[in-house]
Structure 1
Amino acid sequence: MFCIRLTKQFKLLRTRQLHLTSINVKNENKVASETSKTAETSQSTVDKEKVDFVTECMKKFCLGPPMHAVSNIDKRILVWVKRYPSIDQVPDYVSYQCIQHAHTKARIRISFILLFVGILICISAIMSGKREVASGKNIATERLKWYMEVKKKAEEEKQNAEKVQ
């Protein structure tokens, strides 16, 4: 309960700050006389600094949708799912919803690619098996040949051992 009250007060404080900066921006747009232009230019630079500060706070403290700092891999994913046209145009911060949709689309595309590769591997295994059967090779005959070779080698070694003695 106490935490909820604190968060509400903090949100109200931030909205008040935004409201004050928007009033300053509106006042900045009014045309002033030439005598007060020097005083107003110094005040307008201060107002612009306030606006810049508030926009930085908006990015950091998530006023609006929660933002995600984009890494290089995230930029590539966002371009691959055609959310942005190029890597250069991807901003530094993107909403969580945007990055989640991009990751979901990328996962789906990768699963389709892996499914396609798996099907190709299965088809190639079937084709190579059929080729081997057509040439007369199978596991049973290969195993019998291997056992015969092992027996011949064992007999030769036995005969060589008898000759030596």
Structure 2
Amino acid sequence: MGTAAGRVLRLWDRNGSCAVRLTQRTDLKRGLCSKGQEDSAQKPMGTASGQSKLKMPGHQITNWDKKVLVWSGRFKKAEDIPETVSFEMIGAARSNIRVKVSYLMIALTIAGCIVMVIEGKRGSSRQKTIVSQNIERKMKLTEATEQDISAKP
């Protein structure tokens, strides 16, 4: 049985199946599946300090970016922020703000649910249910309709 499975795997390997090639633990540098891995294996040539000779341009800061950097805790005051910062720093600050906003929305959702439960319990103790409110509304509508019909000659 092992040889039949091996034959099937070899046939799939010839057809270019990436998943089968990864499960076989063969040389990953051949075929189309390894193109990204070969690119990531090559590292840029750097100087003695490990830094690249070419410096990437920084991100020009807007007023909104200044607020994001201060809110995320990267800088204490807006005056401390330089004119340009790295793309990684502004991206990390935006991600930090996204997380804080999502936590805030989770907290507000939970608070809203608790308020609705409390209001529902208060309403049920006063016999104020949605069904009774709908019945009252329909009675008012039928009375208004009857008055409009009787008012017309």
2:142 aligned to 140, 151, 158, which one?
151
Cα deviation digits, residues 44-74 of structure 1 (max 9, x gap): xxxxxxxxxxxxxxxxxx9424310011111
Cα deviation digits, residues 112-165 of structure 1 (max 9, x gap): 11111111111111111111111111111122222233333444455555xxx7
2:120 aligned to 121, 129, 149, which one?
129
Supply the RMSD in Å over aligned alpha carbons: 2.1
1:102, distance to aligned residue in structure 2 (A): 0.7
Please show how residues 14-25 of structure 1 align to structure 2 within 5 Å: none
Higher RCO, 1 vs 2 (CA within 8 Å, ≥6 residues apart) = 1
Q: Please list every run of 5 or more consecutive structure 2 residues that lacks an aligned counterpart in the other structure.
A: 1-52
Residues 1:65 and 1:128: Cα distance change in structure 2 (over 3 Å): same
**Secondary structure of 2:85 counterpart:** strand
Q: Provide the aligned length of Structure 1 versus Structure 2.
A: 101
* AA in 2 matched with 1:113: L
Aligned to 1:29: none
1:98, distance to aligned residue in structure 2 (A): 0.9
Residues 1:66 and 1:147: Cα distance change in structure 2 (over 3 Å): same
**Secondary structure of 2:55 counterpart:** coil
Q: Please list every run of 5 or more consecutive structure 1 residues that lacks an aligned counterpart in the other structure.
A: 1-61
Q: Which has the higher helix share?
A: 1
TM-score by length of 1: 0.54
Aligned to 2:78: 87
The percent of aligned pairs where both chains have the same amino acid is: 27
Cα deviation digits, residues 95-114 of structure 1 (max 9, x gap): 11111111111111111111
